[in-house]
Amino acid sequence: MKRFLFFLSSLFIIHYSSFASPTAASEDFIVNQQIVYTYQDSGSGTVTESISLTNRFSTSYARQYHLRLLGTNITSITAADVQGPLPVELTETESGSQVTVQLLHPSAGKDRVTRFTLSYPAPAAITRGQVKEVSIPQISDPSQIENYTLVVKIPGSYGKLAYSSSPPSTSSDLFYTFSKDQLISQPIKLTFGNIQAFNFQLVFHLENSSLQPQLQAVAIPPDTSYQRVFYDLIDPQPINVLPDADGNWLAYFRLPPKSRLDITASGQAHLQNTPQNPSSQSDPLLTSYLQPDQYWPVDHARIQEIAAGLSTPKQVYQYVTSTLKYDTSRLANSARRGVLVALDNPDTSLCTDFTDLFITLARAAGVPAREVNGYAYSTDPQLRPLSLVTDVLHAWPQYWDLKNKTWVDVDPTWESTSKSNYFDQFDFNHFAFVIHGQSSESPLAAGQYKQGSTRDVAVSFAPYRSFAASPLKIEVVPPRQILPFIQNQALVRLTNTQASAIYNPSPVSIIPPFGKFEYLVDFRSSPFPWLTPTVISVSTHDAYLDYNIAQNHYLLWYLLLTIAASVTLIVMVLFAHHAWSVHHERSRWTNPLRR
């Protein structure tokens, strides 16, 4: 609920000079306000306003103070000055609450000051999953206030400040200060916490209408520099899960002829608001993220002309947010239309227009960029509207940060609608399903593998869960027959049986959950395997295996040895027989009895 959208203060004063009007405008006073929001561990909070009214003229002083709070109905309010409590009248209106404070001890005279305080309940800090959100109201009529300072005090249990729609002018671990200028144009939203957890269940529908078996793949949510994804199950279990060039995780399934397959993937995603790395793509081929594609006409003359004046990601971002305007009326017909049509119709844009224009201009300006499709949670659909009415909810761009060597998420759509900063900081509400970099259209995101009007995406806040790591499974498959003296090759298969991806299990950079990776290793065998067994040792990540090759793999070698031994024995027998025959013949001729 929108609460405390803004304050509107007006002062009613009585003049003692005979020619003066009985009331005068608030311009006759210098109004100073210091407002402190103090929050408790439970999420409840109190607003304390310290107000001072300084007389600009000697002929006037304030007898009443009026405060109008729009968008909420407060249940209680107290007022006091140094001499004690002040009478307060609280009236509920259709638009909020009207407060009238009777100033019993006003100070008369030029430059004299009347001071008092107000205290009333603050909008509660809302717990959403693992984070707390605090909303600070906007000032609607700042001209009535000369000096304005707002301080937010939070307990240490809230964690660090993760996101602020407007950066505090000053801050410490528990205190955050905002100026008048920061509250003129918009409310301030603060998010505290270290990580957010979402439970998810996604359904994918595959169909093979051919007469031949097919191998088909679906893109399941991957790890990115902003999220780690943990899977409880993928049912049925895929044949393999492999990363693609953009870092997507593709789960492969074999479909018989004329068959359908429904796949369910469920688990938990842990989101952070700053890039963390690991990412399944640590060293991308950046030139591929500068190329044109169907929805990214990088080489179009109009795009080139605009991009000529843009050199940094922030300049591209600011151009997009200042050019396009979000149009909720298009949500019912949210077909992707391309950046050239969006530039011709800037006031009727959706998130795909903001994202496509950012990527196109960034690539044209020499900045590698790509698209993310996924789920985006919004507390206020009017301020941060969802993009589509189907299961795929939102699209936002990424650019490659050359300094930190990572992909950085930005959201020009939400900045345009909420006026909050989504370039220099990010929130916990963007859950990536797929990444589009090599192609502007594929792979499809969860929610787009449909067969009819089904609801296939369910995402919700959840208590944080720790997922125990399982050792990497190592299998060695030797060749059917092994011969010594030559180089043989064995197949090594690494299988990830745990819920999350395993990084850098040499010689590969990543194995996604339920994924397999196979490679060949060279080895040489002893000519006497029964005396010196051949052992293949595999060590990777946190797993180690010594594989002893069974004797049955040497049957050919044993057969050859047997044949060789038999031939040798036969030759030796024949040679011995021949030698004996020669010796016997010679002995016969040298016998004297035969002379």
> Could you report the per-residue pLDDT of 175-226, keeping only the tens digit for each?
999 888 877 767 788 999 989 999 999 999 999 999 999 999 999 999 999 9
- Same domain, residue pair 16 and 131: yes
Residues in CB range of 68: below 8 A, 6 or more apart: 7, 8, 9, 10, 95, 96, 97, 98, 99
**Euclidean distance between CA atoms 413 and 428, whole angstroms:** 16
Confidence of residue 169 (pLDDT cuts 50, 70, 90): confident
**Euclidean distance between CA atoms 91 and 111, whole angstroms:** 32
- Same domain, residue pair 425 and 545: no
pLDDT of residue 186: 72
- Same domain, residue pair 181 and 55: yes
Who has greater pLDDT, 394 or 146? 394
Last residue of a domain, one of 141, 157, 192: 192
Angstrom CA distances, 265 to 98, 137, 141, 248, stand at: 52, 41, 51, 15
- Same domain, residue pair 478 and 431: no
Mean pLDDT of the chain: 86
Q: Of 55-64, 65-74, 194-203, 494-503, which range is least confident?
A: 65-74
- Is 252 domain-assigned? no
Last residue of a domain, one of 192, 223, 257: 192
- pLDDT average, residue stretch 277-304: 83
- Same domain, residue pair 186 and 52: yes
pLDDT of residue 235: 96
pLDDT of residue 392: 52
pLDDT at 361 over 90: yes
- Same domain, residue pair 41 and 132: yes
Backbone angles phi, psi at 210, to 5 degrees: -85, 175
CA 422 from chain center: how many Å?
Answer: 13
- Same domain, residue pair 420 and 480: no
**Euclidean distance between CA atoms 489 and 482, whole angstroms:** 9
pLDDT of residue 589: 64
Tally of domains within the chain: 3
245 in Cβ contact with 281 (< 8 Å): yes
CATH of the domain at 333: 3.10.620.30
- Same domain, residue pair 349 and 428: yes
Last residue of a domain, one of 177, 192, 207: 192
pLDDT of residue 51: 92
Residues in CB range of 585: below 8 A, 6 or more apart: none
Q: Which residues make beta-bridge pairs with 489?
A: 522
- pLDDT average, residue stretch 102-115: 92
> Could you report the per-residue pLDDT of 212-264, keeping only the tens digit for each?
999 999 999 999 999 999 999 999 999 999 999 999 999 999 999 999 999 99
CATH of the domain at 532: 2.60.40
pTM: 0.83
- pLDDT average, residue stretch 452-461: 88
- Same domain, residue pair 404 and 510: no
> Could you report the per-residue pLDDT of 503-534, keeping only the tens digit for each?
988 889 999 999 999 999 999 998 888 888 88
Domain boundaries, position 418: 286-439
Backbone angles phi, psi at 557, to 5 degrees: -65, -40
- pLDDT average, residue stretch 403-426: 90
pLDDT of residue 432: 96
Residues in CB range of 434: below 8 A, 6 or more apart: 219, 221, 222, 248, 372, 373, 374, 443, 444, 445, 446
